[in-house]
Structure 1
Amino acid sequence: MRDFQKKFNLMKKLILFVLLSFVMNYNLSYSQSDDSMESWNSYKTPGHVHEMLAKATGNWNITTKFWLTPGSDAFTSKGTSSAEMIMGGLFLKTSDKIEGMGNYRNGSAIIGYDNSAKVSQKIYIDDYGSGMLYMTGTWDEATKTVTYKGQMMDHDKDAYVDVSETMTFNGDTMILKAFRPDSKGNQFQYLEFVFTR
């Protein structure tokens, strides 16, 4: 009987210990999940930069300039763009149609801002190539400008090269300037899009 009583008391203590451990872990994880929920809500809620992106929704006329080399004459063309916010106001989706050299180039971008990383992000595709351009950048509130950096394929070299873009938002005008390396590796502006509505 004594052995049974000892085992029974030991079992009660063990069960009590397991229950207390469970309760303490539950409370700790519940507290952490509250913090996680708050963090996640902040991550998924459109903020100030998303509001700036939303101002770009609508239809735009585009005037473009394209330079093959530094100092060369620019090729000019015209086009249209439509932009809409998607995914609950977190991303701006654009669809562009640019006339050039007797045909049209169709392109599309998804532009967003990562609330946690505090970084602007952009993915661009068009029917002039099978690759995707992915860029990240910083938002300058004073100038209403995003400066992006990324890499794109240089078809002459069959290698990726560093590129950058600036996108300035100014009410009914947006200006995109794109830069890439010349044959000597020096960055130059090779593209300009002026959006007006």
Structure 2
Amino acid sequence: MKKLTTALVLFAMCFVSCKKEIKTETITEKDSDTVKTEQAEAEPVLDSAAQMKAWQAYATPGNPHKMMADEVGTWNCDMTFWSEPNGKSEKAASIAVVRMILGGRYQEADYKGTMMGQPFEGKSTLAYNNASQEYTTTFIDNMGTGMMVAMGKYDEKTKSMELKGEMVNPLNGKKTPYREVYTIVDPTTRKMEMFDTKNGTEYKSMEIIMKKK
């Protein structure tokens, strides 16, 4: 693992070094033929040891990744949906298989079940970015052609993370905001709530209670 991390760091350093270049901006004044060239402000230069240390910290899994790894296994998912505020709920069920990938740096989950009488398959990923100190989640499924992407932070007090993103409404093609709250209820129980926006009002559109087998 240590050798792999070092190799990744060296590769990243080489890639960034190759991409660096001095940018200039040319401005032509209306009242004269004067051409002014300005050099863009240069980034602070770090020595190779400092760069190695920074990249290694970025690439090394930490406590948030251990928390993600605690969820590895198979989960039964009890799903409830609402198509509109205060509307009638619909139920569905699925099974999620959770694993860690790429040396324990990311979490990946595969969902299979039945929804609206049709076979349902979905895939999610979860990442914790050491540099920005925030989580990013993605989700795709066989009931659409888009990808949902949301970002947010974990609150140790509430044992939950709030993630915000945008999704495209297939009925009108417009982007609308959505919010996801993921709560660690206990070691074998998770709750995921999704809040959509309709006519400018946020409402709870989905709740999933996950129980680890």
TM-score, normalised with respect to structure 1: 0.82
Partner of 2:106: 91
Please, which moves more after superposition, 113-122 or 140-149? 140-149
Partner of 1:173: 189
Number of equivalent positions: 167
Q: Does residue 36 of the first structure (1) align with residue 46 of the second (2)?
A: no
Partner of 1:17: none
Q: Distance in 2 between matches of 1:163 and 1:33?
A: 42
Partner of 2:91: 76
Partner of 2:175: 160
Instruction: State the shift of 1:105 in Å.
Output: 1.3
Partner of 2:30: none
Unaligned 5+ segments in structure 2 are 1-44
Partner of 2:75: 60
Instruction: State the shift of 1:144 in Å.
Output: 2.0
Give the RMSD, CA atoms, in angstroms. 1.2
Partner of 1:4: none
Partner of 1:136: 151
Structure 2 letter corresponding to 1:72: G
Structure 1 letter corresponding to 2:197: P
TM-score, normalised with respect to structure 2: 0.76
Instruction: State the shift of 1:138 in Å.
Output: 0.8
Q: Distance in 2 between matches of 1:123 and 1:101?
A: 22
Q: Does residue 105 of the first structure (1) align with residue 124 of the second (2)?
A: no
Q: Distance in 2 between matches of 1:102 and 1:126?
A: 15
**Structure with the higher fraction of residues in helix conformation:** 1
Structure 2 letter corresponding to 1:172: T
Q: Distance in 2 between matches of 1:176 and 1:33?
A: 43
Q: Which runs of 4+ in 1 moved over 3 A?
A: none
Structure 1 letter corresponding to 2:69: A
Q: Distance in 1 between matches of 2:154 and 2:48?
A: 31
Q: Distance in 1 between matches of 2:77 and 2:87?
A: 21
Partner of 2:63: 48
